């Protein structure tokens, strides 16, 4: 069923008769449909956060059920061809990177946030399902790349993009000890991707936008999803222990930087590299 849906979403001949408001609405509609399809894993995962009761179900803790659900969905996407083994390897890397960050951020000396619920599948106080929250970002980018037939123009050299990603990741740890250099890293990334353009096809015609804008927009929607997750009580920041409050807006920039790091990993996939044109000047 999803294969037929993907074919319907991605194969459209040119419609020169579509103009003005009709074209805008048609392209906007298909853009929304493709975005929803690209968020299949992330969407199902966040729905599960609300559906699974806080006290668990059938004698199993909430965190354990979420891990089982994530594994089943991931296996199904691989089995039905919605992700390849190479893509799963990258998603697994996101899982490991995200889980390592979670362990550090929830450690006794840092305590940036906490997972107060019980669960058998907790390691170092962190539920194993949390890595899938980061993997969901990678899954979204991979799926969107295919559905929107994305191509990148004037991408920076891979070694510079990799350096930027490493600096982003390192700063998530080091800012607790030597200061937060997010602003400097962000300025470096702005210069690095200033000319980079992403070309995508919502319906029948290719559109373009600055890649930096895409990073910011994706980061914003992840920030919204984070608000949903904390509201559901899956995890909590210190200021949410007494009563829920919105996640601080600064997390938007943090998520945007994490999206850039995820993008760099996805851009190194073999079948995606041929859609990226590296800047030569």
What pLDDT sits at residue 267?
87
CA-nearest of 10, 7, 28 to 18 is 28
How far is it, in rounded angstroms, from Cα 42 to Cα 142?
A: 12
Burial class (CB in 10 A: 0-12, 13-18, 19+), 93: middle
Please state the pTM of the whole predicted model.
0.86
Query: Structure tokens of 115?
Result: 């997972």
Please tell me the predicted confidence (pLDDT) of residue 30.
93
DSSP state of 129: G
DSSP 236: B
Q: Return d(Cα 70, Cα 131) in angstroms, integer.
A: 10
Residue 27 neighbours by CB under 8 Å, 6+ apart:
202, 203, 205, 207
Average pLDDT per block of 10 residues along the chain, 281 residues long: 76 83 91 91 85 84 91 88 81 88 87 82 89 87 91 92 93 89 91 94 92 92 81 67 72 86 86 82 63
The pLDDT value recorded for residue 151 is 94
Sign of CA dihedral 33, 35, 38, 41: negative
Q: Which pLDDT belongs to residue 242?
A: 65
Helix, strand, coil percentages, rounded to 5, for the chain: 65, 10, 30
Q: Check residue 54 and give its pLDDT.
A: 80
Residue 248 to residue 250: CA distance in whole angstroms? 5
């Amino acid at each position: 069923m999803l294969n037929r849906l993907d074919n319907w979403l991605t194969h459209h001949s040119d419609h020169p008769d579509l103009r003005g408001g009709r074209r805008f609405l048609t392209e906007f509609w298909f853009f929304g449909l493709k975005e929803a399809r690209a968020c299949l894993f992330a969407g199902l995962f966040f729905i599960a956060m609300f559906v699974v009761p806080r006290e668990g179900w059938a004698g199993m803790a909430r965190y354990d059920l979420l891990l089982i659900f994530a594994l089943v969905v991931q296996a199904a996407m691989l089995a039905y061809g919605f992700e390849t083994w190479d893509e799963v390897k990258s998603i697994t890397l996101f899982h490991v990177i995200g889980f390592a960050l979670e362990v550090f951020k929830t450690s006794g000396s840092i305590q940036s946030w906490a997972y107060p619920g019980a669960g058998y599948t907790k390691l170092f106080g962190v539920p194993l399902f949390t890595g899938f929250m980061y993997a969901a970002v990678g899954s979204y980018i991979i799926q969107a790349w295919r559905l929107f037939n994305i191509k990148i123009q004037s991408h920076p050299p891979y070694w510079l993009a990799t350096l930027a990603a490493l600096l982003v990741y390192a700063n998530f740890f080091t800012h607790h000890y030597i200061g937060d250099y997010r602003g400097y890293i962000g300025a470096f990334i702005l210069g690095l991707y200033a000319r980079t353009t992403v070309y995508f096809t919502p319906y029948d015609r290719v559109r373009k936008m600055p890649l930096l804008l895409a990073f910011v927009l994706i980061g914003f929607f992840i920030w919204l999803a984070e608000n949903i997750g904390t509201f559901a009580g899956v995890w909590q920041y210190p200021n949410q222990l007494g009563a829920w409050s919105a996640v601080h807006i600064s997390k938007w920039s943090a998520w945007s930087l994490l999206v850039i790091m995820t993008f760099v990993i996805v851009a190194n996939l073999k079948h995606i590299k041929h859609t990226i044109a590296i800047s030569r000047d």
